[in-house]
Amino acid sequence: MKGKHLKLKDSLLKTILPVALILLSFYSCKKKTVDPRIVLDRDYKKEILAGRDALRVYLIGSETGISVSVSVDGKTVWSEGYGFANKELKAPARPETKYRIGRTSQIFPAMLIAKLQEEGKVDVNEPFSKYVPNYPAKQWDFTPYNLGTHSAGFPETDFILVQNKQDYKSLKEFIQATEKDSLLFKPNQYFAVSDYDPCLLGILAETIGQKSYPKLVKEMLLDTLGLNETELDSPSPIIDYRSTPYHRNFIAQVVNAPEIDSRFVSPAYGYLSTADDLNKLGQLLMNKEFFSEESYKLFFTPNTLDGGFQSNLGFGWNIYTDRQGRKVYIQEGSTIGGSSFLAIFPDQKLVVSICTNLADNSESVPSGKIVQLFLDKINPVKQEEPAAQKEEKAEKPAEQ
């Protein structure tokens, strides 16, 4: 009898156990998981909720992806993704989603040259021709500093350049094809944002470093700084968490972006990154953890043109003062299939970074709104009373 009970028990286990495992598996698949990378600091609940509303409004009609990262005094207080990294697959945007960052890529050639100057291998105030003697002479000499502050005299360019209708294969090939172009104005007389400038800084780095520009960026900057989610936007390899790029057609419909290979202008447009990695870079620069004091002055001191006019451009950075007198360092960029924004408020210890997989200007992306939400929290500005109320108080007799 005991043997029959054991056989029956064994038979039941064999029947029930697989069913239980299937049910457990089904339950675990249905269970919603929380991305461990998401950061929602309770101390900034009000600001985060208002920021989420701004992101939702921005995504109306496009349903593309956007990721945001905010840090205060070196601590990340908000990191989250909204919308879709891939619309067709309904794959959500996350903190680890990688986007094309457009002209924010211009931070890297500036940092490379600054580091090479610290090593005594280049002087940004010497003629460019001293270091790249085979580059054809122009009607005027220009310096690496002119290139980094967009005051060398090269013409303005547009991100449509990355469509590469000339089929350039490399940075060197692009520079060789345009090396006979004349300067439009004498260096440091004016400034014009040109993609030739960072690309020539890339050629300068290659000439001095004796390696390709992407290798120099990886070895000297990305690996050293721990920017593990920033890399060259190469179309061939499988890149984890790379977002699908989108574009607006001539009637403003969101469509798949045309294929591009921006490696030939990699110092100007060619990198992918996450909002978290850009924020990490902003914190490193704000805390002055990697470069010399001379390099930080190079980055964050506005260039004064020969006529005495001070531009808003430092070496690789835009430098502004807001209406309340707060200093801010900004780099932002838009390209086919991606946009990015990075702002550093050094005195308030605030860094805000945003990335999207749609080409958009800074007025469309809610970057200013999100920045203002957190500034109002950590550095509120006292509102002045209207003049009429001041006069009313002055005329009102004192109570006895």
In the chain, which residues have pLDDT < 70? 1-34, 159-160, 361-363, 382-400
Q: Which amino acid is at 70?
A: V
Beta partners for residue 75, in sequence order: 72
- Tokens in use for 338? 């991606």
Cα–Cα distance for residue pair 358/361, rounded to 1 Å:
10
- The tens digit of pLDDT for each residue in 54-82 reads 999 999 988 999 999 999 999 999 999 99
- The tens digit of pLDDT for each residue in 285-305 reads 999 989 999 999 999 999 999
Beta partners for residue 139, in sequence order: none
What's the whole-model pTM score?
0.86
Q: Which of 128, 148, 101 is nearest to 278 (CA)?
A: 101
Q: How many CB atoms lie within 10 A of CB 122?
A: 23
The pLDDT value given to residue 29: 40
Domain residue limits, the chain: 45-378
Question: Checking DSSP bridges between strand 350-356 and strand 338-345, what pairing results, if any?
Answer: antiparallel
> Which CATH fold topology does 45-378 show?
Beta-lactamase (3.40.710)
Contact 152, 141 (CB under 8 A): no
The pLDDT value given to residue 177: 83
Q: Give, to the nearest 10 degrees, the angle between helix 196-209 and helix 171-178.
A: 120
